[in-house]
Amino acid sequence: MFEASAPLSERRQVARDMFVLGFDAPAVAAAAKAGQFVNLGLQPGPLLRRPFSVYRAGGGRVEIVLRAVGEGTSQLLSLREGDLVSVLGPLGTGFRFDPAWRSVALVSGGLGLAPMLLAARDARAAGLSVHWVHGARTAWDLGSEWDGEEATWATDDGSRGFQGSAVAAVEEEFGAVLACGPNPMLAAVAERWPDAQVAVETYMGCGTGVCLGCAVPLTAGGYDRACREGPVYRAADVDWPALPSHLYYTAVPVASPSRPSPATGGGEVPV
């Protein structure tokens, strides 16, 4: 694990309201594995760091993908090139890969695309054939970046690819399934593929295992930490009904018509 005061060196839009930010943090980039995350600290900024899956890592740079959903993400998206962010990572336990699987399906929904490019990279390195199935609300909300051979798109409104969820869009059998997306989607993954590896989302305090704030309820009873034992779990090991399914990151967006939600006001977000 490393901590680096890292300059913003990249920003690009990859879908409606969805952006990639890159930070120069060579040690973190070199160590990051699929499914791991970085915890970003802003100074000045909110009290706690903000956790993000590592989206891409290489050439000395760590990339994350995000939407403005609250104070921290809005502040990150207003950074200018060269602005410094404290990057702590890589953190957590990522996906496992086994050459014996021969093939792997990467199943993601919405911002759940975040760990999938690294998952594809690490899966190929393990000699696996990779098929990505990614879903979003509309064609505008799908991520535009994919360097794999095979991909299937799914949209709720049918504006691109399969009409329906990413989970429903998976037709073939694969040696293994890796998934990331909203927790209700991951609960559906657990129903269909109990042995799938899923990357969960929780509120998080420290990101390093001390605060016990990111508790993940287990079917075996008790809790463990998304930041240490997770964020990747065997799907059937998570007690899905006990895991909060919707995370709201900000206190303001429902309140005032004069202050539109950053999550829907794409025009406010500097590109």
Partner 1 sequence: MTADLSVDLGHLRLRGPVIAASGTFGYGTEVPLLERRTLAAVVSKGIFLRPRPGTPPPRIVETPSGMLNAIGLQGPGAEALLRDYAPLWSAWDFPVLVNINGETVEEYGELTAQLDGVPGVGGFEVNISCPNVEQGGMYFGNDPRAAADVTRAVRRRTKLPVWVKLTPNVGDIAEVARAVEDAGADALCAVNTFLGMSIDLHSFRPRLSFRTGGLSGPAIRPLALHLAHQVARNVQVPVIGIGGIAGPEDALEFLVAGCAAVQVGTATFADPRAIAGVHDGIAAYLESKGWTSLKELPRYLPLD
Shortest Å, Cβ 204 to partner 1: 8
Shortest Å, Cβ 257 to partner 1: 14
- d(CA 30, CA 84) in angstroms, rounded, equals 19
By CB under 8 A, the residues from 47 to 76 that bind partner 1 are 47-49
Q: Which of 192, 208, 236, 237 lies at the binding interface for partner 1 (CB under 8 A)?
A: 208
Shortest CA distance to 119 belongs to which of 187, 196, 67, 28? Answer: 196
By CB under 8 A, the residues from 233 to 262 that bind partner 1 are 242-244, 246, 248, 251, 254-255
Sign of CA dihedral 151, 134, 265, 69: negative
Cβ proximity to partner 1: between 148 and 217 the closer is 217
Query: 214-238: string of b/e by CB count within 10 Å (b at 16+)?
Result: bbbbbeeeeebbbbbbbbbbebbbb
10 near partner 1, rule: CB under 8 A = no
Span interacting with partner 1, options 39-47, 53-61, 119-127, 152-160, rule CB under 8 A: 39-47
By three-state DSSP, how is residue 158 classified?
coil
**Do β-strands 84-91 and 103-109 pair in parallel, antiparallel, or remain unpaired?**
unpaired
Shortest Å, Cβ 75 to partner 1: 13
Cβ proximity to partner 1: between 82 and 222 the closer is 222
Peptide bond preceding 90 in cis form (omega within 30 of 0): yes
User: Side chain identity at 128, as an amino acid letter?
Assistant: L
Positions that interact with partner 1 (CB under 8 A): 1, 3, 41, 46-49, 86, 88, 202-206, 208-217, 221-223, 228, 242-244, 246, 248, 251, 254-255
